[in-house]
Structure 1
């Protein structure tokens, strides 16, 4: 029988007892007593006890059947035994060694017998333990963090009054393997970066990458969250609506290194975004984004190539052998899942759908949009500080130059902020008082490379014993590495991932501020490790990929 059934049965019995006893007169006669004993099927002494309990308390619950076992507080331990139990509790049981109750009882019983005392039973010892603060006991046995997660009360929750008041951002490793778009061989599990609006539960934007969490992934996710996504959806053949857009007033994140990066903190300040980091090891402060990620992963588990959430669910399924989706296809699938399913389902906390909540509240809210979406993305890219030298800027052992830099010559030797895209080191964005200056390698014959390739080349040169590294050596090493990759007859997963990183380094038009809607709508569908992200009215868009 369930506990609920037993509780209902006990309450019905208490109600019947109260009904019978309420009919008894104040002065009981033998006839009244015999009648009540027959109705309740109890002895004379039990009847008088029930009558006394009910008349003193006046509540039906006073007549609930007694629970079995000793009453709390009965039969306390003797002072001598209590001293032994307390000693072993502090020095043995309530420690990180986490002994079992049986082992605790054996230690207590051994000392009691040595002193000629009757040891308590293991059940009495268990009742003694239950009288202690379980949160404090767990903190001593398993650590403060675990005790707080289980026992700490968390009344209320994170609330936002209007759309974009609070946005939460986080990363997760997607529980599915993606494949190369050409060979259809497995590449690995991508990283999903996603942003959610706390007030309406709308997914504001996301980004997929084959690389670990990085500042670049955050920048691309935020750009996707802020921009008008209508053209982005059209480019992927998606007919559903995704109306969420705008600069958030506050961003809540965890304590990942990318969220503490100086460039990220500066960019948030630049756009008047209140950046809040949740306390370490307290996932409850990111409940909204955590639940969203759980919902998204639950949907992904239906895809071929899913790893599920643990090895028990996966069993003997070979996820890599089952994988069929490319990164671009997974991106489109996620967009459909978000816009066509998640946004259209009634949210239990809202009692309406996220899309309806957004539509109802966004009219009264003041949405802030970036004046220049390209500038917005650049502001959130990683940055370095460098002094402008006579021959240009030197970064990553590469010399960068632009004719526009001539106008900055002769000024005081102050440091300029250089923004760079780790996926393509063929350009730098120099931040000046008059806007962005785009600098290119002084040697225009240099091929476009990624920061990942740059680091690999430097590592190879160091291993070869090179004491100094210059630009020529780096590019020669990268060219040699690319030739090895291209000539490999049998590709490993690592090499396939390397090729996927390079897939975006094909000549594409740069972002242009001249309207060209036809060119924009004719953009190719998602290929390789990414897809066009900056689909914004009045802009030609190049492909942006995450390679670092």
Structure 2
């Protein structure tokens, strides 16, 4: 029970408390020493209570010293007092911890049935529904929500007194992943292939998007690294390839990367690459999404834009309704990437940000000249550090990777002398070239062996390879193959039986026509003189 404030007390109770306080205050001022029984009787009569109650009221007033200490409390059970026996309390506590506080989020009714069933099975009277509900209410709301996986309740009950702030561009860059709320289609067949993953990076100071990466693969070191490479380098060539004319001036190494605790951000290669380039990594505390609030809000904004596209899944089933996302999907991965880029540079960067009160690009332009933006000293080394790799053997025809063949004149000297597999770095966004580390330790760029081939992504290369294999499987006549195998099996079985029968009936090897001279001798074939065959006609 919560103690009321003075303004919340009933008028009659307040007046009575004031009368008692005035009488007790005067009584104590007149008598500083030991109180005589007669005096206490007079006070009790004035207060219209028994002497025992008068003693209790004096004690309360001395302890509190206020009128509120004398306000009459409603009768009832003291707050926190439990009337159930220990056995039933333990059953309720165990059931709540084991069955109610879990990610399946069972309802209260199910918990009540479990508790009552357990009590009956051990011969105890089941507690009332309100008793069980009261025990649930006693549990801290945030603790209860965390155990039950109720993210919205956790967010609503979490205090956020601190603010993650940066005073200059690229001081803190946040990176995170999300599964896009839209289905995409295949480049060739235009059939739905699934929902892609989006990796976004954002500068906390200016709220500018520093880079992004879109892929069909789940979040990994690869997607994180490629997003970082997109963030650090000049984006002008990238924009030109996608026919985007709006500027995207963000480039440079961040001082600190603010990321979650995903395995992709914890990999040895990623950490070493960041350390080598002088970038610190700040991991968010586990289970504390509010520490990534800036990037979370940006992701929410971007997902909201995707809800306008054909094939959207919306945010939840209620919004989705009867809309068939797969049937309405229309954009390819490449088209969706361009759509997101257009929205970032032509809409988000140019619009007033709620926290800044200004467009992010205006804040960036204002501050970018005040600090020297740091770029990798060795651009190629930094690039190669974060690219994925494979090991391949150098063959006379070149390097074979994902069904593609690469060649460089610099590799000619290594053909035949390379007795070990070579490290090959590749960019999944552009498979027209790879970087091969020679035995000397230097990397060389190798391009398509067929220079007429266009640049494609790794996803496109793998999809084409799967399509080719599927086509080959469809062209296979399984009935013919099986029938041929059966005929071959019959032939072998008949040959084995015939040979076994002949050997059992003729122990000595029978002469052939060649040996008995009926076909003539062939020994002259190996002699120096050729054998002359007579014309019998």
Q: Which residue in 2 is equivalent to 1:338?
A: 348
**Is the alpha carbon distance of 1:56 and 1:264 closer, same or farther for their aligned partners in structure 2, counting shifts above 3 Å?**
closer
Tell me how far 1:264 sits from its aligned partner. Answer: 4.2
SS of the residue aligned with 2:423? strand
For 1:393 and 1:26, the matched residues in 2 are separated by 99
2:98 matched to which residue of 1? Answer: 95
Partner of 2:374: 368
Indicate the larger mover: 398-407 or 226-235: 226-235
Match of 1:163 in 2: 169
What is residue 322 of structure 2 aligned with on the other side?
316
Q: Which residue of 2 aligns with 1:440?
A: 447
- Closer, same or farther: CA 61–383 of 1 in aligned 2, 3 Å: farther
Q: Distance in 1 between matches of 2:343 and 2:473?
A: 32
1:448-478 alpha-carbon deviations (Å, 9 max, x no partner): 7764566568779xxxxxxxxxxxxxxxx57
Cα distance in 2, alignment partners of residues 245 and 64 from structure 1: 68
> Which one of 70, 73, 83 corresponds to residue 77 of structure 1?
83
Tell me: CA distance 1:103–1:243, structure 2 relative to 1, closer, same or farther (3 Å).
same
Change (3 A) 1:58 1:206: farther
Match of 2:204 in 1: 198
Tell me how far 1:439 sits from its aligned partner. Answer: 1.4
Residue 230 of structure 2 aligns to a residue in which SS? Answer: helix
- Separation (CA, whole Å) in 2 of partners of 1:69 and 1:241: 71
Structure 1 distance, partners of 2:304, 2:444, is 45
Which residue number in structure 1 is paired with residue 500 of structure 2?
none
* Contact 1:418/1:428 (8 A) holds in 2: yes
- Are residues 415 and 256 of structure 1, via their aligned partners in 2, closer, same or farther at CA, if it must alter by over 3 Å? farther
Choose between structure 1 and 2 for higher RCO, CA contacts under 8 A separated by at least 6 residues.
1
Secondary structure at the aligned position of 1:95 is classed as helix
Q: Structure 1, unaligned stretches of length 5 or more? A: 1-6, 30-42, 461-476, 485-548
How far 1:238 moved relative to its partner?
6.4
Any conservation in 2 of the 1:167–1:251 contact (CA below 8 Å)?
yes
Per-residue CA shift, 1:133-159, capped at 9, x if unaligned? 6777778x7589999889887774655
C-alpha separation in 2, matches of 1:360 and 1:71 = 63
Structure 2 CA distance for partners of 1:398 and 1:284, relative to 1, 3 Å = same
Q: 1:437 to 1:340 in 2, by over 3 A?
A: same
Give the Cα separation in 2 of the matches to 1:306 and 1:234.
28
Which structure's CA Rg is the greater one? 2
Distance 1:72 1:196, change over 3 A: same
Summarize the alignment of residues 247-286 of structure 1 with structure 2, pairs less than 5 Å apart: 247-254=253-260, 259=265, 264-275=270-281, 283-286=289-292
Equivalent pairs counted in the alignment come to 437
Partner of 2:293: 287
Matched, 1:227 2:233: yes
SS class of match (2:349): helix
Matched, 1:421 2:424: no
Q: TM-score, normalised by structure 1?
A: 0.59
Correspondence 1:17-416 to 2 at 5 A = 26-27=22-23, 57=64, 70-74=77-81, 76-77=82-83, 81-87=85-91, 89-90=93-94, 92-96=95-99, 100-103=110-113, 106-107=116-117, 110=120, 114=123, 121-128=128-135, 130-131=137-138, 142=148, 156=162, 160=166, 162-177=168-183, 189-209=195-215, 212-213=218-219, 217-229=223-235, 242-254=248-260, 259=265, 264-275=270-281, 283-303=289-309, 305-319=311-325, 326-327=335-336, 328-341=338-351, 344-347=352-355, 354-355=360-361, 358=364, 362-370=368-376, 376-386=382-392, 393=399, 395-396=401-402, 400-406=406-412, 416=422
Q: What is the CA–CA distance in structure 1 between the aligned matches of 2:234 and 2:400, rounded to whole Å? A: 36
CA spacing shift, 1:415–1:144, aligned 2, 3 Å: farther
SS in 2 for 1:272: coil
1:383 to partner: Cα distance: 1.1
Can you give the 5+ residue segments of structure 2 that lack an aligned partner in the other structure?
A: 26-46, 101-105, 476-537
CA contact (8 A) 1:263 1:382 kept: no
Root-mean-square deviation (CA), in Å?
5.6
Say if 1:159 and 1:198, in contact at 8 Å, map to a contact too.
Answer: yes
- Hey, what's the Cα distance between the residues in 2 that align with 1:60 and 1:207? 67
**Alpha-carbon shift at residue 216 of structure 1 (Å):** 5.3
